[in-house]
Structure 1
Amino acid sequence: MDKQNNKKKDNKQKLKRILSNNWFIIKISFETAPFFMLFMIFIAIQAQCLIFLEHTYGIKYVLEAVEFHKPFPVVVQFLLIVMISWAISFLLGTIYTNNVHQKSLPKIQKRLKEIMYEKAKELDLECYDNPEYYNEFVLSLSEADKSITRTHQIIDTFFRALTSVIVSGVFLLVTDSLSIIFVLASFGLTIFFSQLLNKLNFSNRLEKNPKERKRSYIHRVFYLNDYAKEVRLNPSIRTRLYSEFDQVNKDIYGIEKKYAVKRTWLHFVSHYLTNDFVSDVVYITYLVFRAAVQHVISYSSVVVLWNSSGDMKYNLQTMATVLPQISENSLYIEKIRNFISYEKKITSIKNLPVPKEPKTLELKNVSFGYSEKDGYILHDICLTIEPNQKIALVGYNGAGKTTLIKLIMRLYDPSEGEILYNGINIKDYDINEYREMIGTIFQDFKIFATNVGYNVVLDYTDEDTITRREKDIRNALEFSGFKEKLDTLPQDLLTELTTEFEENGVDLSGGESQKLAIARAFYKDAHLVILDEPSSALDPIAEYQLNEAMLQTVDNKSVIFISHRLSTTRNADRIIMLEQGRIIEEETHEELIRLQQKYADMWKAQAGKYVDIA
């Protein structure tokens, strides 16, 4: 008994959540465009009323006029009323489709995306590193517009079907009340067998899904640019893929064959016995008996009742599909609402202001892991960076260098230990102000599809703003080594980059893009500059020039930079070498070479590449 009660309670909560999710979109729609929503419902109701007037009551009226010899002018008058009503309906429908709908739908879509974009700005970085959450995040964004469209379609379908069921039901009850029994019986049997068919199709779909995913993968391999070179250079891959493609299609055929007989019989029963037989044979026999034997309805009513029963049953079935539709729609809206309701973990505790000048940054016994399952990546890190110091982080891939600077930027919080700035835990500072004092260039930087000036400033700006800041922008580009490229661009700082939106846009090379990205750090008035592989796409000469410019420009800033090229690190005030998440060496370049340990070994392996520059 308890299990049954719990099941009923769960179903009730589930239904409540389904309705709540769909109401979420409906509420946004009504708040953003109330007239549009009311107009949509009105159009649905009036359209079905007119269909009933013409196809049911109108046919009955005309047939009975002929059967009972009513005056012809009366019939013409009725037909004129129907014609005028349809003309008005078409006019209203045109206004709705081409005016109200076209103007209002984008407003609703914009409002929902504004809510989602506001939330996206607040997401913790761990959300992007979590594949499960990130996949749902991407899905929720891609489904936003579709969820609105689906919700509106459901509303339109529901009100059309409900209106038709009401007017048809009233007509049947008034004309021949027993007709309702035939409609409901046929409808009930159809729903029962359709559910059995749907369960069978669902099982079929689940069994085919892994095979179809594999077939889809093979399909992608043959047409995506990502695989083009490998497929052409390795013929054996093509042979294997052809073989697997053939096998997976045989497997899918076998699965379809397995379900074919059951599906055929269920389809026959659900469509013929419960629909055509009950509606077309049993019901029409009943109507003829009522007209020819009992003489309680007219022959005209026989035709109209049969048509009307079919309309009512069709719209009952349509209403029955609304619940599965809102259930499916709810699944997508649920992801949108989960995304919007996410509570960020990286927050400001005391919202203290950040000092105006560079201060001491201290990491005390900091350990960190992205998840409990994977364990710690950084272990007991103790590090002090004095104001205006230049610190280099070195180590082999996977040593924890990038993770360490993510903690310093407070994209993550330490699992253990604390990070202090000017003696205060960085959790106590206003988070936006704290991050604003840091200028950062990652090795996976992005060039935005906009002009050169904006790509340096990275702030809301226009051409006038770029003109006012022109001197600072040019200085930053010159220090980063981009000036030579800038002199060749057709519109100087206003040159559009990438061809995403501009046919005449300029695509930069890897090295040019990196110089442009590095200019952002020079431009920003930051206390702390963090450079993660700032010269990875530059040749050795450009790298040397960049390092010299950097050291000249950031005298009044603290600098942390990561580089696998040790020529970049040799002029740092201090070099920190990490291995497996631990600091194993910490000194100047000369001192570390003298110690002849891990750093010295790494330097010897690379020294030949830099001897001419050094």
Structure 2
Amino acid sequence: MDSLKKSFSFILRNRTGKIWVALTAIAALFEGFVPFILVWITKSIFDLVAKALRTSQSDLYLHAIWMLLLFVLINLLAAAIRFMNEFYTQKTQSRLDHDLEYLLIKKVANDPISNFDIPDYHNHFSRLQGSVGNKIILPVQNIFATLKQTISCVTFICYLTTIHWSLVLLAIVSCIPLIVMQFKLVRVRFFTNLYQTPLFREINYLKYLLTARENVKEIRIFGLANHLLNKWSEKYLNRASEILKVQTKQTMLKLGVEINSALIYLLATSTLLLMTRANFITFSIGDFFAIIQSVQNLQHSFNELNSIFSKIYESNMYVSDFQNFMKNDQEKSTQRDIKTLSQPLTKGIVVDKLSFSYGQGKTPVLENVSFEIKPGEKVAIVGANGSGKTTLIKCLIGLYPVSYGSIYINGIDINEISKADLRKNITVIFQDFIKYHFSIRENIAIGNVDAISNLDEISRVSQLTGIHEYINVLPDQYETKLGNVLTEGIDLSGGQWQKIALSRALFSDGQIIVLDEPTSSMDPLAELDIFNSFEALVSEKTAIFISHRLAVSRIADKILVMKAGRLVEQGTHEELMKKEKEYYSMFMAQAKWYEKDKSGVA
């Protein structure tokens, strides 16, 4: 019942949906009576023609023609209502597709980033994809379809009861086995889809590996095409086999319905003939047609009701699945009083005994991390791969919830800071930043879409990062499209893309700037230029950067050394080198690569 209420609430949000509900209700009421009315008109036509043939009364033919015109008019009116209803159904479904997809995307965009590390979350979202509007509108459609078929059933039952109760019993009893089979099939169909979702996602992933532009080079170089194609084929055929089993059961059920209908027709006709022979009842040729058609229509209505009830059951499971997904935790903090960060920052960042793990009971990725960053301080976070650097950053910027320990920004607990205000004041560019296939201007202005038309500021930050000169010689300059997915744009080198991303970070104008390997794709000279102007780039901002190249960390005011999720050292480059511990070992190991041995080989 809750699912049905939810479907109605979605549909009635706009005028189109309200018109559709009203029109569908009218259509259900009208079409519910139409089958019996048409049977009765046809009976009357048969009787009039039969009587005319016996008596040669010419006015009976005219009467039959008028009845035939009425038959045609009712059919035309039913068709007009049906076509209008179908039009508004498509219109309402299209609007629902947009509105519900919008809700799903908005929900995913606001979910905790930790959800994206959970496979079941992706399975659940994938399961809801495709014709969302149709799946939500179905429960309401089925309710009106139930009304229509119920009216049809009642009219035929009332008529057949006046002939003989056994005809009604025959039609009803014959449907019981099919009802049981239909409900079992619905459960099988829904849970097949449920359990097939992970496999379906894997199939799509393999297809993506084989067809996406960014994968082509590596697939060709390693000769992976046949291996991945065979893997895709095996999994695709396995899934198709499971789906075919369900479709086979469905086909057998439909065959059962057809056989059942033929048997009922045979039994009903035989019963009528036996009753007539025994002089139990007498009827005209029109009565005979009406009775047989009524038995068939009654059985058809029962079968339709059975199918509708199973669809209601199935569509309610989908709506419940949709509701469960929408009810899952959205990105929120355990906020007591939502606060905002003052400008400029006066107290910096304090991390106190921070621990984090991906899910309960799992090994901590961060463990008991504590440090302080002063306002305007430039801090480098270094460590081997898997040491927890990026996870620490994601906690610092509020992407991962702080459940153990505390993070304070400007003296305010991060859980009490408005998410919007946090995003506004912290700018982050990760190593795997997005390369938007938009114009260069849009790629940079994405850092602050409210100022997307401020070309002067876009140009200023581009000059700081050294990409302006390259952009300026392009025919369309900042309106040049990048990438070849949407249009025939230009391709940038890795280093050029990194300068675009760095420009994006500077354009956002947050008080805290976080850079994850900001120069990893640049050549040594470009990297040297960036770090020579690093002070100008970040100016008065508090800056945090992650880098594997420890020589870069020498420009930092403070260095945080991570190892296995723990903060093992912190201090300036000179202080840490004197200690001759983790940082010293890492720095000296890298330094050897830049020294030539006696043979002159690097």
Return the TM-score normalized by structure 1. 0.82
Larger displacement relative to structure 2 (21-30 or 103-112): 103-112
CA distance in 1, matches of 2:521, 2:89: 50
**Which residue in 2 is equivalent to 1:9?**
none
1:445 has 2:428 as partner: no
1:580 has 2:568 as partner: no
CA distance in 1, matches of 2:124, 2:191: 26
CA distance in 1, matches of 2:267, 2:287: 17
**Which residue in 1 is equivalent to 2:600?**
none
Amino acid at match of 1:350: D
CA distance in 2, matches of 1:522, 1:596: 36
Larger displacement relative to structure 2 (385-394 or 563-572): 563-572
Amino acid at match of 1:40: T
CA distance in 2, matches of 1:370, 1:211: 20
1:456 has 2:444 as partner: yes
CA contact (8 A) 2:187 2:314 kept: no
**Which residue in 1 is equivalent to 2:527?**
543
CA contact (8 A) 1:291 1:302 kept: no
1:128 has 2:116 as partner: yes
Larger displacement relative to structure 2 (450-459 or 218-227): 218-227
CA contact (8 A) 1:350 1:430 kept: no
- Give 1:23-38 correspondences, 5 Å limit: 23-32=5-14, 33-38=17-22
Alpha carbons of 1:544 and 1:335: their partners in 2 closer, same or farther (altered >3 Å)? farther
CA distance in 2, matches of 1:167, 1:489: 76
**Which residue in 1 is equivalent to 2:169?**
181
CA contact (8 A) 2:97 2:131 kept: no
Larger displacement relative to structure 2 (430-439 or 227-236): 227-236
Amino acid at match of 2:528: Y
**Offset of 1:558 from its aligned partner?**
0.6
1:112 has 2:96 as partner: no
- Aligned-partner SS, 1:127: helix
The size of the alignment, in residue pairs, is: 578
- Aligned-partner SS, 1:566: coil
**Offset of 1:228 from its aligned partner?**
9.0
CA distance in 1, matches of 2:107, 2:231: 45
Alpha carbons of 1:200 and 1:86: their partners in 2 closer, same or farther (altered >3 Å)? closer
CA contact (8 A) 1:482 1:516 kept: yes
**Offset of 1:231 from its aligned partner?**
8.2
**Which residue in 2 is equivalent to 1:346?**
333
**Which residue in 1 is equivalent to 2:467?**
482
Alpha carbons of 1:143 and 1:376: their partners in 2 closer, same or farther (altered >3 Å)? farther
- Give 1:519-534 correspondences, 5 Å limit: 519-534=503-518
CA distance in 2, matches of 1:200, 1:410: 41
**Which residue in 2 is equivalent to 1:62?**
45
Output one character per residue of 1:94-118: Cα deviation in whole Å (capped at 9) or x when no partner: 44444x3454333333333444444
1:319 has 2:305 as partner: yes
Structure 1: which 5+ residue stretches go unaligned?
Answer: 1-18
**Offset of 1:57 from its aligned partner?**
1.9
CA distance in 2, matches of 1:212, 1:562: 37
CA contact (8 A) 2:139 2:316 kept: no
**Offset of 1:269 from its aligned partner?**
10
**Which residue in 2 is equivalent to 1:7?**
none
CA distance in 1, matches of 2:187, 2:18: 42
**Which residue in 2 is equivalent to 1:378?**
366
CA distance in 1, matches of 2:222, 2:46: 76
**Which residue in 1 is equivalent to 2:3?**
21
Output one character per residue of 1:524-549: Cα deviation in whole Å (capped at 9) or x when no partner: 22111011122222222222222233
Larger displacement relative to structure 2 (543-552 or 451-460): 451-460
CA distance in 1, matches of 2:572, 2:509: 27
- Give 1:16-95 correspondences, 5 Å limit: 19-32=1-14, 33-54=17-38, 56-69=39-52, 71-95=60-84
Output one character per residue of 1:284-317: Cα deviation in whole Å (capped at 9) or x when no partner: 1111123343243223322322222122212211
CA contact (8 A) 2:25 2:144 kept: yes
- Aligned-partner SS, 1:362: strand
**Offset of 1:184 from its aligned partner?**
0.9
**Offset of 1:393 from its aligned partner?**
0.4
Larger displacement relative to structure 2 (82-91 or 224-233): 224-233
- Aligned-partner SS, 2:555: coil
Alpha carbons of 1:330 and 1:93: their partners in 2 closer, same or farther (altered >3 Å)? closer
Alpha carbons of 1:41 and 1:545: their partners in 2 closer, same or farther (altered >3 Å)? farther
CA distance in 1, matches of 2:229, 2:11: 52
**Which residue in 2 is equivalent to 1:291?**
276
CA contact (8 A) 2:190 2:314 kept: no
- Give 1:148-227 correspondences, 5 Å limit: 148-151=136-139, 153-155=141-143, 157-192=145-180, 198=185, 224=211
Larger displacement relative to structure 2 (382-391 or 137-146): 137-146
Taking only the aligned residue pairs, the percentage that are identical comes to 22
CA distance in 1, matches of 2:423, 2:233: 51
CA distance in 2, matches of 1:451, 1:304: 71
Alpha carbons of 1:173 and 1:576: their partners in 2 closer, same or farther (altered >3 Å)? same
**Which residue in 1 is equivalent to 2:383?**
395
**Which residue in 2 is equivalent to 1:10?**
none
**Which residue in 2 is equivalent to 1:3?**
none
Alpha carbons of 1:338 and 1:201: their partners in 2 closer, same or farther (altered >3 Å)? closer
- Give 1:212-251 correspondences, 5 Å limit: 224=211, 233=222, 238=227
CA contact (8 A) 1:544 1:568 kept: no
CA distance in 1, matches of 2:516, 2:208: 33
Residue among 456, 467, 482 paired with 1:471: 456
